[in-house]
Amino acid sequence: MPKIKIDGFQLFCMMIIFMFGSNLLIIIGKGAKQDVWIVNLLSTLFGCLLYFVYVSLFKKYPDMPMT
């Protein structure tokens, strides 16, 4: 079975889609009431930070798998 690699943009898109989908299905920050948009914004920013950590690790060690 051939190895399939995804690039950084595909990883970013998958993470953003996952975060927005989980925010809509699992109402994160339900206790914040009208300020729930702040929780969604902070979780998106944290996810983008995590994305940049993954990309930097991938650039530093391109032959090693993410696991």
Domain for residue 46, yes or no?
Answer: yes
The whole-angstrom separation of Cα 11 and Cα 51 is 8
pLDDT at 13: 84
pTM for this entry = 0.57
Domain for residue 63, yes or no?
Answer: no
Residue with tokens 């729930």: 36
pLDDT at 24: 66
Domain for residue 18, yes or no?
Answer: yes
pLDDT tens by residue, the chain, 67 residues:
788 888 878 877 887 788 777 766 666 666 767 777 777 788 778 888 888 888 888 889 888 877 6
Q: HEC profile for the chain?
A: CCCCCCCHHHHHHHHHHHHHHHHHHCCCCHHHHHHHHHHHHHHHHHHHHHHHHHHHHHHHCCCCCCC
pLDDT at 16: 78
Our count of domains for the chain comes to: 1
pLDDT at 46: 86
Domain for residue 28, yes or no?
Answer: no
